[in-house]
Copies of this chain bind each other. A is one copy, B any other.
Amino acid sequence: MRERLATVPLFVAVPHYDGAVTEPKTPDAAAPTAPAKKHARDGKSNATIYDIAKVAGVNPSTVSRALSKPGRVSAKTQKLIEDAAAELNYQVNPFARALPTGRTNTFGLIVADITNPTFFDIIRGAETTATVRDYTLVLAESAESAVTELTAARRMMATVDGLILASPRMDDDDIRALARDKPVVVINREVDGVPCVVPDVNKGISEAVRSLAANGHHKVAFVAGPPQSWMSARRWEGVQAACEWSRLEAVRLESSKPTVDGGRQVARDVRASGATAVLTYNDLLAIGLMQELQAAGMVVPDQISIVGFDDIFGADFTTPPLTTVRSPLGECGSGATTLLLDLLHGTGEPAGTLRVETELVLRGSSGRLLPAG
């Protein structure tokens, strides 16, 4: 089975072609005989530019221009046509428009996991910005799989004007291949030759580490995310650099998966490491870690400080609420959309990497280390 076929087979039972070819469209007002009729297209939304042209007494192409090329027709005709359109309750048919032009006023956004709160704000940021500029956002999920991701991306390519990949799992080369076809913007990863939006971790991390140093910590553990995660690598680098600057010792621990569960599992290693402060690849790990440590009787932050990354929804539900390095995820989403818009409507293509700032959100899970006793 070829991939293409995957988009086909479900049409079987669909009602057949109903374009009235030769019959005149007499709107037979009352047809109360058929009790439970199909959702007919006899609504008021089927006016076309041809209908408008007839009402306004002009050529359809003039209607088309009046409605999509401001200034191309005279003010008088414009008004004539707009009135007719209003009267007929005209709505352009997006498919008819997309067919010759190829543009759809639609952007695609692919995320690894719709239920991962990290993406919520990205989605919302992108959606908001897209809507403001009259674009529609289409969402797809890769279920954390590089293959699914690529399939989804390929499928989307046919129907969107541009694509946003949030924390993509696929190869750099695959991304570049997609970008050759249509504008693509990547969030949370840097890919050579493709416009990207990445949070600059340094500011937030150095704030976090300075805060830890000031509170008497000397050894910091970093719980890493997935090995292939670009962002995890950046964060670890940032932690190392900041620790060096503050003369703290930094150790790296691995997690099995970047979830609450993964956080629980890594608690053993954290205790064994002897670190008194932990930064984790993301908030979910931090929350799981904190739950497990507390269950083992440790007091946060008196005995150990925990700092997450992202400031996801729910990060302040914990007791104590989680200190975290916030990435402006909403900004990432809206920034990526803006980049896409620039790429499409802009003059040249200067679109490079857009960096956004991170900051420390100081809450209760980090603080002064109390002397053991």
Nearest residue, chain B, Cβ from A36: B349
Q: Are A39 and B181 in contact, with the CB atoms below 8 A?
A: yes
> In the complex, what residues of B have CB within 8 A of residue A99's CB?
93, 95-96, 99
CB distance from A338 to the nearest CB of B (A): 13
> In the complex, what residues of B have CB within 8 A of residue A11's CB?
68, 103
> In the complex, what residues of B have CB within 8 A of residue A348's CB?
36
> In the complex, what residues of B have CB within 8 A of residue A90's CB?
4
Residue A345, interface by CB 8 Å: yes
Bound complex: CA of A117 vs CA of B58, how far in Å? Answer: 51
Bound complex: CA of A212 vs CA of B41, how far in Å? Answer: 53
Given A4-B90, A100-B19, residue A124 in contact with residue B133 (CB < 8 A): no
> In the complex, what residues of B have CB within 8 A of residue A123's CB?
114
Residue A296, interface by CB 8 Å: no
Given A39-B181, A39-B182, A314-B314, residue A134 in contact with residue B2 (CB < 8 A): no
Nearest residue, chain B, Cβ from A90: B4
CB distance from A135 to the nearest CB of B (A): 8
Given A100-B17, A100-B19, A319-B319, residue A134 in contact with residue B313 (CB < 8 A): no
Count of identical protomers in the assembly: 2
Nearest residue, chain B, Cβ from A157: B45
Q: Are A92 and B2 in contact, with the CB atoms below 8 A?
A: no
Residue A302, interface by CB 8 Å: no
> In the complex, what residues of B have CB within 8 A of residue A18's CB?
102
Bound complex: CA of A103 vs CA of B95, how far in Å? Answer: 10
Q: Which stretch in A23-31, A136-144, A221-229 binds the other chain?
A: A136-144
Residue A370, interface by CB 8 Å: no
Residues 107-132 of A, flagged 1 when their CB comes within 8 A of B and 0 if not, give: 00000001101001101100100000
> In the complex, what residues of B have CB within 8 A of residue A319's CB?
294, 318-319
**Which A65-103 residues have a C-beta within 8 angstroms of B?**
67-68, 70, 82, 85-86, 90-96, 98-103
> In the complex, what residues of B have CB within 8 A of residue A313's CB?
115, 117, 313-314
Q: Are B105 and A115 in contact, with the CB atoms below 8 A?
A: no
Q: Are B137 and A68 in contact, with the CB atoms below 8 A?
A: no
> In the complex, what residues of B have CB within 8 A of residue A117's CB?
117, 313-314
Given A4-B90, A124-B141, A127-B139, residue A105 in contact with residue B159 (CB < 8 A): no
> 10 tightest CB-CB pairs across the interface, nearest first?
A314-B314, A319-B319, A95-B98, A13-B345, A317-B317, A95-B95, A95-B99, A114-B124, A115-B120, A43-B181
Inter-chain pairs besides A45-B158, A95-B98, A318-B319, 19 sampled, C-beta below 8 Å: A4-B90, A6-B134, A7-B134, A8-B92, A9-B134, A10-B105, A10-B133, A10-B135, A91-B158, A94-B159, A95-B159, A117-B313, A127-B139, A127-B140, A136-B155, A136-B159, A138-B139, A294-B319, A319-B319
**24 sampled A-B residue pairs with Cβ under 8 A:** A4-B85, A4-B92, A7-B92, A7-B105, A8-B67, A8-B134, A10-B133, A10-B135, A10-B345, A11-B68, A13-B346, A14-B103, A14-B344, A36-B349, A39-B180, A45-B157, A94-B159, A115-B124, A117-B117, A117-B314, A124-B141, A136-B138, A137-B139, A318-B318
